[in-house]
Chain A
Amino acid sequence: MPHIMVVDDDREIRDLLGRFLEKHRLRVTAVRDAREARRAWSNGHYQLIVLDLMLPGETGLDLARWLRGVSDVPIVMLTAMGEETDRIIGLELGADDYVPKPFNPRELLARIRAVLRRAGDAPAARHEAGSRPLRFASWTLEPARRRLLNPDGAEVALTGGEYDLLLALAERPNRVLTRDMLLDLLRGRQAGPFDRAIDVAISRLRRKLEDDGRNAQLIKTVRGGGYVLAASVERL
């Protein structure tokens, strides 16, 4: 069972989030500030940190910087709604993902799972991916700002789910991602049947990448249930 550290200054949120995550088969240690977080870090082994950026005393960004100095542990930030600068700094520091507060617990859970799954990859490669843009077939995906640029450099809007799917595909080019893996990414984001959501999201992505559905070149459907990004991906 993965062990997760939650850093948040609100006691109620710590307790409730702990209970919620434990209900979904995660082990949780909750601390209130950076000092306690350091102590907990030295006493335990954690697979992921959920970090509120707005902490009393030492800020969440400082703690993230310190954590990056000592470890490659994945970090999911809780950011203030609309505070884009904190979010970008956090992602550039090497945080793996962020969820704006007030967050939807199920979405946070989906992000935690997605990040944990990615953490299975080599830490160096994962880190590399952290915030540096990915380029494939003249398209650019910028994780720090969660955006896709077309070959002319214009931003192409993506829904949150579409972005997560595309990032997952682009981080593992030429490898088949099963529908189950991709479903996890969308879980908590959408109402309605999930399996249809995957098809919808993939077809929208193909439309946006100007990748004809029947004769898709970029995102290929794999018989037996899965998708693959058929392109070489370059890290900028």
Chain B
Amino acid sequence: MRLHLWPRSLATRTAVVLLAGLIVVQIAGLTIHAFDRMDLQRLEAAREVAIRAMGLYRAVVMTSPAERQHVLEEIHHAPGVSAVISPTPPLGGMPELSFRLQRILRLSIILVPLPPNLRPHDFRMLGGAGYPTTVVGLRLPEGNWLNVTLPAPSISPWHSPAFLTAFILMTAVAALLTLWAVRRLTAPVRTLAAAAEALGRDVNAPPLPEDGPTEVATAAAAFNTMAARIRRFVQDRTELLTAIGHDLRTPITRLKLRAEFIEDEEQQRKILADLAELEAMVAATLAFGRDAASAEPVSPLDLAELLRTVLDEAGDAQPELADLLAYEGPPHFTLRARPLAMKRALANLVANALNYGGSARVRLIPPVSAGAAGRMVTIEVEDDGPGIAAAELERVFEPFHRGEPSRSRETGGVGLGLPIARNILRAHGGDVVLANRPPAGPGKRVGGVKATVTLPG
């Protein structure tokens, strides 16, 4: 509230402070320059007035006193200049000029070549800032005065319009340099923020370059150390999981073989189903531990066929649900991806919809038009289940997260299906989010869950 106008970004704040400083310094400099310049102009003006007045005086005083009035009338004065011989010094309501300026007149009196007896013995100099004229009174040897009125040249603080233009240009260039430098200097902060964001998405994100100014390099090094510790921690955990997964393979194989010798067909079927579930959990754990997508090369694949195959396999595994599976979209759509990883991600989403929502309708929506909106292809997987509480929509993507009681167990899984799917899709530059669909009819509370996958097309 207090600092409502204070910008939020560090770069803008720094730039505002630096630019304000620059403006203050420039204004002060400009003022000093202007005052100095006006002072100089006044001196110059006084010098000119003195010379011109002394020129007239010399012309008048060199003639005999009787002719002086006549000579004065004969002289052609420059515009705005007038001179009279008067018994008194100039009066007028004008103040005397400063001593400093009067000294210039005194100097001119000495320098003008005149016999000492003809030099004026007294003088007056009236005028100043704001008066259009300057009046100089010089006392003639006879005791009367030659009073000369001269136009005061206008005093301007600027030398020329070009000066002001140059000055503004200079200020603008300095401001631009400031902005550029500020952006450059604050870039490491943005890089750090981006790196922290990337680390959140992918623990194996590349480290920050540890160069640049000392402080930046130190911060980058500290960040990299922290990232390495987190990586180590995640690695330890996944290595443990992978080791357990590996070790479980032999006993599962033995059990599967043993089950083949069970006479009771009902028991055999149930044991095999349990083992299949156990195996799926181990497979999921291993896939999660292996960081699924990283090792496999990217190659073109037909995403539409992949989706239909995933649905076909789900239907083959549970023939009673085959009618609740549907695909909608183009017959073919080619995309570059890691085939096994992508299949696992999509199969997990379909399995999730089937297990928790009782059906899976898959819709493939190719990018709207070439080049538009980053060309994202969308896959929607809808079910007709009871939906998910809003607070759970994101949490179900956390590894080993057990959903709300109604969604737990029963259908198996270790809570890795969705995290694996998201890991894989994010590794492809895409993502997946869940949302509850609006109810289809008035009687229902929600219309099931919709998983929306986006992938760069």
Binding site for B on A (CB under 8 A): 10, 12-13, 16-17, 19-20, 23, 80-82, 84, 101-106, 147, 150, 152-159, 161-162, 190-192, 197, 204, 207-208
Contact = CB atoms under 8 A, between A and B. Distances in A.
A157 B316 contact: no
A82 B283 CA distance: 8
A204 B301 CA distance: 17
Nearest to B259: A105
Contacts of B313: 159
Given A81-B249, A104-B256, A191-B317, A153 B261 contact: no
B42 interface: no
Nearest to B335: A154
Contacts of B165: none
A20 B305 contact: no
A191 B312 CA distance: 13
12 contacts: A16-B258, A23-B261, A81-B286, A84-B295, A103-B256, A150-B302, A154-B302, A154-B334, A157-B309, A157-B343, A197-B316, A204-B312
Contact of B260 (A80, A105, A152, A208): A105
Interface string B426-439: 00000000000000
A152 B300 contact: yes
B249 A156 contact: no
A16, A103, A159 — most chain B CB neighbours (10 Å): A16
Nearest to A191: B319
Nearest to A103: B253
Interface residues of B, number: 37
B334 A152 contact: yes
Contacts of B286: 81-82
B302 A155 contact: yes
A29 B295 CA distance: 37
Nearest to A152: B334
Given A105-B260, A159-B312, A10 B339 contact: no
B36 interface: no
Given A157-B309, A157-B310, A159-B309, A105 B257 contact: yes
- The secondary-structure label for the interface of chain A is mixed
Given A82-B286, A152-B334, A157-B309, A13 B301 contact: no
B250 interface: yes
Interface string B297-315: 0011110011011101100
B254 interface: yes
Interface string B273-298: 00000010011001100100001100
Contacts of A155: 299-302, 339
B340 interface: yes
A38 to B, nearest CB: 24
A156 to B, nearest CB: 5
A12 B254 contact: yes
Nearest to A147: B339
B249 A102 contact: yes
Contacts of B301: 154-157
B409 interface: no
Contacts of B283: 81-82
B252 interface: yes
Contacts of A103: 253, 256
B249 A101 contact: yes
A192 B319 contact: yes
A36 to B, nearest CB: 19
A104 B301 CA distance: 28
A207 B308 CA distance: 11
Given A12-B254, A161-B316, 8 more contacts: A10-B253, A16-B261, A80-B246, A84-B340, A105-B260, A106-B260, A150-B302, A191-B319
Please name the 10 residue pairs, one residue from A and one from B, whose CB atoms are nearest each other, closest first: A16-B257, A157-B309, A154-B300, A155-B301, A102-B252, A102-B253, A157-B306, A154-B334, A192-B319, A156-B305
A197 B47 CA distance: 116
Contacts of B309: 157-159, 162
Contacts of A159: 309, 312-313, 316
Contact of A13 (B250, B290, B310): B250
A197 B313 CA distance: 12
Contacts of A23: 260-261
A158 B309 CA distance: 6
A157 B339 contact: yes
Interface in B106-154: none
Nearest to A109: B260
Given A10-B254, A13-B253, A101-B249, A157 B305 contact: yes
A140 to B, nearest CB: 12
Contacts of A204: 312
A174 to B, nearest CB: 26
Nearest to A158: B309
Nearest to A16: B257
Nearest to A160: B313
